[in-house]
């Protein structure tokens, strides 16, 4: 999963040169000691002790499921730990919530749901502020934000509605708000997950400026190169435990990877398959904008059997519209869609909303496409016995264990739920598979299972479209990668003959 040959960040950005050796007099703003947290039987964190000092970038590195998110939520006050304690500026503190954390100087910028889209930036700031007065002074709040933005060299639009801002603009706004409220420690949770490369370029100097002003930036990520670029100290988490602490001078990719993964990873050899006939072809297709997503604007794409086409691009450039038109849910308003067969499988980004009906039984969910089948009916009514048998066979083949097929789908774990979706979708031997961010929210082994299922389907003759904002995911299994930007498709890259760096540069240079 991790490619050793990578170089995301352009090294032309100046490296900090002065004073980054470990400075023992730098005061520790926040310290956590012996933190433990479990959810039911799952241990998320065990005996984690860390400190965060003024004027440094402290990165926390770990895979999905290593416990980073739980740690972040405990730090910011959203969750309470089961064991251990938190010290802020030397004093033991128990945080009662996010706002309490903010009042103590800990600000957090998460990947989503940090701002209310229907309000303006100023309004979000006013709600966040622990000491806001009852009477609103919007213009003053606006000038406070603009003032702070100037000291950081940012351009922001605080009076615009948040849902009109780009992802990068929203992120900067959140950082700004956290700052103005008085955060000494700013936690950034996977900050580059949804950013364009050129927006990442704005983020790095911003972080440096924050640190120069004496704050601590906690940088949570699973991306090695970012850590190598920016961190003063790195702590590696694996399975809820601290497995490595490194200073900047000690940073070395191989060591980091080994710490993160627990073993030396092998480079995955992708077997090349000769692609077959074209299964679906988009010819200058335009799709109308809907209330929840943008449309497509003259997109052209063709996908063949036995190939996986990776769709790269930042969220919000037409991915949903592309998925919908491939699935046949919407008609193009311009251009032509030619499809060999209508058997299209879909692996969604949001399982709970688009993959399964959580309140219905496992059996009901698996019968989605087959409920009209003659063999499950006797005299117009559904035959529960044949259905049960069919469903149980399917579960067995998919490797899902469940006490009863009548239990609701919500009773399964996340990984099993995704397996359920795949079992149902692939059951009909689809010609085309559309996978939209299929690894989201899955731990390492579950994601691996999904990957294997996609490759297997490909080998059996399906055409696969893999949409993901994560270049690593695309690089792993795609036969070729194209970019979706502003509703158009461009470029076609063979992952075997290029680096993720080149891909990233193309993404950044081609738009905005």
Partner 1 sequence: MTFWISVLEASVRLGVPLLLVALGELIAERSGVINIGLEGMMSAGAYIGFVVMAASGDAQAAMSAAALAGLTVAGIMAGMAILGRVNQILTGFALFVMVPAATAFLYLQNMSSLVVTPALPVLAIPGLDQIPLFGRVLFAQNEFYYIAIALCVVVWILFNRTLLGLQITACGHNPEVATAKGVSVVWVRTGATLTCGALAGFGGAALTVGALGQFNPGVTGGLGFIAIAAVILGRWKVQGVLIAAAAIGFTDAFRLRISSQVDFPVQLLAMLPWIVVLLMLIAGAGFADVPRALGRNFSSIAASDA
Partner 2 sequence: MSLDRAATVAIGQRAGLLAVGIGVVIFLSSAIFFLGRADPILAFRVMLNGAFGSWSGFSETLLRFSPLALVALGLVPSLRIGLFNIGAPGQIAAGGLAAALISLNLGGLPAYLVLPLACLSAAAGGALCALVPALLRARLSVSEILSTLVFNFITVLFLQYLLTGPMKGYRVNLPESDAFPANAFLPTFVHGSRAHVGILLVIAALVAMRALEDSPIGYRLRLLGASRSLGRQAGIDEAHMIIATLCVGGAAAGIAGWMQAAGVDHRLYASIADPIGYTGLFAALMGGLQSIGVVVSSFFFAALLRGGDTLQIGADVSPEITGVLVGLIMLVMAAMQARFRRAGVWS
Residues of the shown chain interacting with partner 1 in the complex, contacts defined by CB under 8 A: 78, 97-99, 113-119, 123-124, 126-128, 130, 132-136, 291
3-state class (DSSP) for residue 222: coil
- Tell me how far apart the alpha carbons of residues 402 and 392 are, in angstroms, rounded to a whole number: 9
Between 97 and 399, name the residue whose CB sits nearer to partner 1.
97
| CB of 137 vs partner 1, minimal distance in Å | 9
3-state class (DSSP) for residue 304: strand
Of partner 2, partner 1, none, which one sits near residue 364, judging by CB under 5 to 8 A according to partner kind? partner 2
Identify the DSSP state of 74.
Answer: H
**Interface with partner 2 by CB under 8 A: which range of 59-67, 115-123, 350-358, 388-396?**
350-358
Residue 259 · residue 228 · CB < 8 Å: no
Of partner 2, partner 1, none, which one sits near residue 136, judging by CB under 5 to 8 A according to partner kind? partner 1
* CB proximity list for 275: less than 8 A, separation 6 or greater: 304, 305, 306, 307, 479
Report the candidate in 480, 432, 463, 434 with the shortest Cα–Cα distance to residue 305: 463
Between 206 and 345, name the residue whose CB sits nearer to partner 2.
345
| CB of 100 vs partner 1, minimal distance in Å | 8
Of partner 2, partner 1, none, which one sits near residue 374, judging by CB under 5 to 8 A according to partner kind? none
- Tell me how far apart the alpha carbons of residues 265 and 267 are, in angstroms, rounded to a whole number: 6
Of partner 2, partner 1, none, which one sits near residue 428, judging by CB under 5 to 8 A according to partner kind? none
Q: Is 333 in the site for partner 2 (CB under 8 A)?
A: no
Q: Which residue has the tokens 């774990």?
A: 413
Residue 157 · residue 122 · CB < 8 Å: no
Of partner 2, partner 1, none, which one sits near residue 117, judging by CB under 5 to 8 A according to partner kind? partner 1
Between 409 and 457, name the residue whose CB sits nearer to partner 1.
409
Distance from first CA to last CA of the chain, Å, rounded?
A: 30
Between 128 and 199, name the residue whose CB sits nearer to partner 1.
128
Of partner 2, partner 1, none, which one sits near residue 174, judging by CB under 5 to 8 A according to partner kind? none
Alpha-carbon distance values, 37 to 46, 77, 220, 344 (Å): 7, 13, 18, 42
- Tell me how far apart the alpha carbons of residues 313 and 194 are, in angstroms, rounded to a whole number: 9
Q: Which residues pair with 303 in a beta bridge?
A: 280
Q: Which residues pair with 361 in a beta bridge?
A: 408
Between 304 and 327, name the residue whose CB sits nearer to partner 2.
327
Between 115 and 145, name the residue whose CB sits nearer to partner 1.
115
| CB of 367 vs partner 2, minimal distance in Å | 7
DSSP letters for 402-417? -S-TTSBGGGS-HHHH
Please select the residue that binds partner 2; options are 294, 377, 392, 480, rule is CB under 8 A. Answer: 377
Please select the residue that binds partner 2; options are 359, 401, 445, 497, rule is CB under 8 A. Answer: 359
| CB of 467 vs partner 2, minimal distance in Å | 17
Q: Is 367 in the site for partner 2 (CB under 8 A)?
A: yes
User: Would you state the structure tokens that stand for residue 347, as one six-digit string?
Assistant: 């692996």
Residue 58 · residue 219 · CB < 8 Å: yes
DSSP letters for 238-250? ETTEEEEEEEGGG
Q: Is 397 exposed, middle or buried (0-12, 13-18, 19+ CB in 10 A)?
A: exposed
Of partner 2, partner 1, none, which one sits near residue 113, judging by CB under 5 to 8 A according to partner kind? partner 1
Between 117 and 399, name the residue whose CB sits nearer to partner 1.
117
Of partner 1, partner 2, none, which one sits near residue 133, judging by CB under 5 to 8 A according to partner kind? partner 1
Q: Is 28 in the site for partner 2 (CB under 8 A)?
A: no
3-state class (DSSP) for residue 19: coil
Other residues' Cβ atoms within 10 Å of the Cβ of residue 406: 13
Question: Can you say how many angstroms the Cα of residue 498 is from the centroid of all Cα atoms in its chain?
Answer: 23
Residue 356 · residue 417 · CB < 8 Å: yes
Between 251 and 421, name the residue whose CB sits nearer to partner 2.
421
Residues 298-327 that bind partner 2 (CB under 8 A): 327
Of partner 1, partner 2, none, which one sits near residue 359, judging by CB under 5 to 8 A according to partner kind? partner 2
Of partner 1, partner 2, none, which one sits near residue 360, judging by CB under 5 to 8 A according to partner kind? partner 2
Please select the residue that binds partner 2; options are 246, 346, 426, 475, rule is CB under 8 A. Answer: 346
Q: Is 382 in the site for partner 2 (CB under 8 A)?
A: yes
| CB of 420 vs partner 1, minimal distance in Å | 22
Stated as kind and residue range, the H or E segment containing 75 is helix 68-76
Q: Is 353 in the site for partner 2 (CB under 8 A)?
A: yes
Number of residues this chain uses to bind partner 2 (CB under 8 A): 24
Report the candidate in 467, 487, 488, 494 with the shortest Cα–Cα distance to residue 327: 467
Between 94 and 382, name the residue whose CB sits nearer to partner 2.
382
Residue 187 · residue 156 · CB < 8 Å: no
Of partner 1, partner 2, none, which one sits near residue 297, judging by CB under 5 to 8 A according to partner kind? none
Q: Is 356 in the site for partner 2 (CB under 8 A)?
A: yes
- Kindly report the CA angle at 373 between 367 and 374, in degrees rounded to 5? 140
Which residues of the chain form contacts with partner 2 (CB under 8 A)? 327, 329, 346, 353-360, 364-365, 367-369, 371-372, 377, 380-382, 408, 410
């Amino acid at each position: 999963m991790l490619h050793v040959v990578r170089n995301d960040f352009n090294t032309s950005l100046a490296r900090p040169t002065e004073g980054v050796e470990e400075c023992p007099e730098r005061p520790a703003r926040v310290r956590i000691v012996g933190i433990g947290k479990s959810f039911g039987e799952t241990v998320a964190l065990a005996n984690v002790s860390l400190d965060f000092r003024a004027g440094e970038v402290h990165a926390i590195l770990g895979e999905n499921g290593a416990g980073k998110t739980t740690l972040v939520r405990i730090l910011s006050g959203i969750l309470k730990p089961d064991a251990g304690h938190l010290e802020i500026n030397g004093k033991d503190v128990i945080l009662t919530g996010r706002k309490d954390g903010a009042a103590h100087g800990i600000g957090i910028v998460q990947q989503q749901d940090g701002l209310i889209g229907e309000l303006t930036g100023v309004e979000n700031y006013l709600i966040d502020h622990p000491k806001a007065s009852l009477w609103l002074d919007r213009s003053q709040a606006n000038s406070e934000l603009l003032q702070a933005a100037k000291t950081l060299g940012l351009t922001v639009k605080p009076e615009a509605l948040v849902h009109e801002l780009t992802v990068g603009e929203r992120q900067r706004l959140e950082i700004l708000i956290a700052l103005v409220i008085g955060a000494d420690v700013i936690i950034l949770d996977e900050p580059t997950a949804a950013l364009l490369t050129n927006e990442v370029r704005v983020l790095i100097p911003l972080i440096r400026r924050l640190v120069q002003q004496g704050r601590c930036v906690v940088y949570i990520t699973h991306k090695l190169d970012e850590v190598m670029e920016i961190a003063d100290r790195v702590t590696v988490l694996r399975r809820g435990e601290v497995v490595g602490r490194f200073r900047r001078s000690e940073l070395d990719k191989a060591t980091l990877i080994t710490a993160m993964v627990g073993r030396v990873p092998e480079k995955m050899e992708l077997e090349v398959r000769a692609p077959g006939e074209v299964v679906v072809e988009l010819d200058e297709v335009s799709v109308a904008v809907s209330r929840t997503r943008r449309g497509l604007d003259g997109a052209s794409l063709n996908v063949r059997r036995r190939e996986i086409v990776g769709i790269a691009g930042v969220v919000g450039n037409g991915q949903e519209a592309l998925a919908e038109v491939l699935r046949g849910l919407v008609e193009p308003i311009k251009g032509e869609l030619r499809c060999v067969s209508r058997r299209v499988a879909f692996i969604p980004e949001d399982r709970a909303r688009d993959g399964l009906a959580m309140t219905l039984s496992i059996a009901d969910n698996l019968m989605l496409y087959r409920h009209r089948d003659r063999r499950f009916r006797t005299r117009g009514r559904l035959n529960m016995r044949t259905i049960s048998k069919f469903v149980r066979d399917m579960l067995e083949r998919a490797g899902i264990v469940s006490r009863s097929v009548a239990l609701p789908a919500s009773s399964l774990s996340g990984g099993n739920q995704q397996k359920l979706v795949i079992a149902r979708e692939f059951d009909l031997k689809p010609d085309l598979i559309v996978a939209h961010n299929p690894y989201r929210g899955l731990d390492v082994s579950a994601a691996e299972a999904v990957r294997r299922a996609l490759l297997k389907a490909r080998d059996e003759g399906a055409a696969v479209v893999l949409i993901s904002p994560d270049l690593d995911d695309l690089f792993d299994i795609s036969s070729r990668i194209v970019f979706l930007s502003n509703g158009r498709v461009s470029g076609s890259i063979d992952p075997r003959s290029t680096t993720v760096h080149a891909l990233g540069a193309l993404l950044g240079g081609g738009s905005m």
